[in-house]
Structure 1
Amino acid sequence: MAEIGRWRACGAALLLAAALSGPLAMAQSEPAVRDVVVWDVPALDQLPDDDFGRLARYGRSVVEATYAHIGPAVTDEAARFAGNNLACASCHLEAGLKKFGLPLVAASADYPAYSTRSGEVASLFDRVNQCMRRSLNGRPMPEDFRPMRAILAYLEVLSTNVPHDAAIAGAAAGRMPELDRAADRARGAQVYARECADCHRRDGLGVRRNETLPQMGYAVPPLWGDDSFNDGAGLARLITLANFVHDNMPNGTSWVAPTLTPPDAWDVAAFVASQPRPRLAGLERDFPDLLLKPVDAPYGPFADGFSQEQHRFGPFAPIRAEIARLKAERGAIDNPNAR
């Protein structure tokens, strides 16, 4: 494992040097086509019973039951870094081991990397803390805090056999055909009542394991409300949420045999995305180059002239076309709030 760590460090240093030599060029060019590798994930329970093995296994526990380790109701007040009682595995299904369930298998291999959201080169530590601030609606953890070190160790193990220049099969949440219309929230409410409410409840607030002990987390996570992810999270974006729903929901669904049609998934995702949730201050400073902002970012400012409503619910093809035109004409457009 020490050799793996040295190899990772060497690869990370080379990537960081490349990123620092030309981050703007990296940001504005199309992503390079990468070899796709099959999964080859080491068995965590077969790691040696040494400091690293124990730390990585603890990291799996933190990912699976985040609320019990760093949630807002844990006994140690100094450890309350998460602002809700979700788990990392609420979004990264099967502790990051489900294809098209926002897997974590290549996370360690993907960083450091240029972040269009921050305009800087981000480490994996930085990326985990972005999840802390957004999906877990909390605050950043220090790098030497044991749960943070444990998460990083777990992610390192998952990426052991993923080269830095490769992608994994089953990455992210998949990609289904987009609609040529705006996603329909009213129709989505009907899909939600039919397909989702039995598990997530009609009010979308999920099912706690114990109503009097929030540190025990959720048997079924909330989709909106005060204890859900905030409006800066990845799942607050329609494209990510709709694909995630299509490939994974209702619970037990696989991308191999989706339950929902693509229009149903788009519409129910729009309904969920339109519901109230915590707000993250400072979102207007995201994406220093506004032409690198995702077309479905649900908050401004925007450089393309389209409304916030269309950025939230589509259709997205006209936005992409205008952004392509602006890139060709101007290259970049500075976000006035970024500094």
Structure 2
Amino acid sequence: MQQGTGRRVAAGSLLAGLILVGAFTSGAALGQQATPTPPAGGSAAGLAASLASANARIAVWDIPDIDLLPDDEEGRLVRYGRSVLEASARHMGPDAADPAQRFAGNNLACVNCHLDAGRKKFGLPLVAAAADYPRYSTRSGEMADLADRIDSCMTRSMNGRAMPRDARPMRALLAYLTLLSSALPKDAKIEGAGAGAIPPLERPADPVRGAVVYAQTCVACHRAGGEGLRRNAADASFGYGVPPLWGPDSFNDGAGMNRLVTIANFVHDNMPNGVSWVMPVLAPEEAWDVAAYVVSQNRPHRDGLDRDFPDLLDKPVDTPYGPYADGFSQAQHKYGPFGPIRAEIARLKADKGRVPNPNVQ
């Protein structure tokens, strides 16, 4: 890395650290407009609008200090949930000590995608997860609760199977996520949600260009074959110090991280590890291309993907598998450009309202 780039990364890390210290201080205010000003006349509609404005973008996250929870059953369950999130393979991976708890099909950890135990801005945070559910899932076409959302990760990102509701890892994850969201109102919108929004490309993202970026920026940690670095070569249940990005122990092709928009934004705002959205290392174009290189690689396949999204107009534009309603190729859905796809979906929604998935009865 060049000296100038090193200074920018160091400055970005310091600034990010200062911001995150404020964001994660217990008892911090939820936002500058957390207490709305009552509207003139006191109308119910005006108060509702004021409340909506106050909760529109919660910038400072109020997260309880989990280590200060009482040493009782609930406190221990929450702390175990954090451990499941951080050391998933140890608790529920394919080589976990208890065979009955082997729900994951790979040795990844939840924190490989949900950085800092789900508490990093634009690191796919989980701070508002419990406040977001239950909600309608466009992928399943049904209402989903928080346990359903966890199982979606289990069967896709973790390439495993759904957990029973009474399984201890499930109860622990629910307890941890509920605590993270405990200071938020229902359906709260937080700043730093998701993975960010870098400018779109006007061309297809290019895996060939991305291979060059990968060799320059990613290979030292994720390795030439994308296999990552295990914590213990003899015992897979210790998981990874650096997760694999493709291959048999990676997320499957139905995972959200296998969608270009998600992974490109995640890479831009978080990689190399330690970087933040405040001062990224990669240019947006580099992030798009290296993300294209990663999603072009082989990974486990999930059966039944053609039945995702009962209404095809709800399907994200970067979903890399059909069927599609818009007439664009699978390659364009995988690599872009996405502007023409979005325009056609908007036209179809205005014209038809919905397009049923022919594979869903």
| TM-score (normalizing by structure 2) | 0.84
Are residues 1:306 and 2:345 paired? no
User: Partners of 1:85 and 1:134 in 2: how far apart?
Assistant: 13
The answer (yes or no) to whether the contact 1:125–1:152 under 8 Å persists in 2 is yes
Contact 2:130/2:181 (CA < 8 Å) preserved in 1?
yes
Runs ≥4 in structure 1, deviation > 4 angstroms?
A: none
Work out whether 1:46 is the aligned partner of 2:68: yes
- The answer to whether the aligner puts 1:168 opposite 2:193 as a matched pair is no
The partner residue of 2:56 within 35, 55, 61 is: 35
Q: Which residue of 1 aligns with 2:203?
A: 181
Listed as ranges, the gaps of 5+ residues in structure 2 are 1-51
Name the counterpart of 2:225: 203
Q: Which has the larger radius of gyration?
A: 2
Instruction: Tell me the SS of whatever aligns to 2:189.
Output: strand
* C-alpha displacement of 1:78: 1.3
CA RMSD of aligned residues (A): 1.0
Q: Is 1:320 aligned to residue 353 of structure 2?
A: no
Give 1:319's aligned amino acid: I
| Aligned match of 2:109 | 87
Aligned to 1:192: 214
| Corresponding letter in the other structure for 1:68 | R
Q: Distance in 1 between matches of 2:325 and 2:116?
A: 38
Looking at structure 2, the residues matched to 139 and 311 of structure 1 have their Cα atoms a distance apart, in angstroms, of 27
Deviation of 1:75 (Å): 2.4
Return the match for 1:125 from 134, 147, 159: 147
In the alignment, the residues of structure 1 paired with residue 80 and residue 250 of structure 2 have an alpha-carbon distance, to the nearest angstrom, of 24
Instruction: Verify: 1:296 aligned to 2:345, yes or no.
Output: no
1:172-198 residue CA offsets vs partner (Å, 9 max, x unmatched)? 100010000000110000000000000
Deviation at 1:55, TM superposition (A): 0.3
Post-superposition Cα deviations, 1:262-313, rounded to whole Å, max 9, x if no partner, equal 0000000000000000000000000000000000000000000000000000
C-alpha displacement of 1:36: 1.1
Aligned residue in 1 for 2:14: none
Which of 256, 277, 286 is residue 234 of structure 1 equivalent to?
256
Cα distance in 2 for partners of 1:46, 1:73 equals: 31
How much has 1:338 moved relative to structure 2?
Answer: 1.6
Corresponding residue number in structure 2 for 1:66: 88
Percent identity at matched positions?
A: 66
1:35 and 1:165 in contact (8 A); partners too? no
Answer yes or no: is 1:153 the counterpart of 2:187.
Answer: no
Note if contact 2:86-2:109 (Cα within 8 Å) is conserved in structure 1.
Answer: yes
Q: Where does structure 1 lack aligned partners over 5 or more consecutive residues?
A: 1-31
Report deviation, 1:74.
1.3
Deviation at 1:165, TM superposition (A): 3.4
Question: What is the SS of the residue equivalent to 2:57?
Answer: strand
- 8 Å contact from structure 2 (residues 91, 97) kept in 1: no
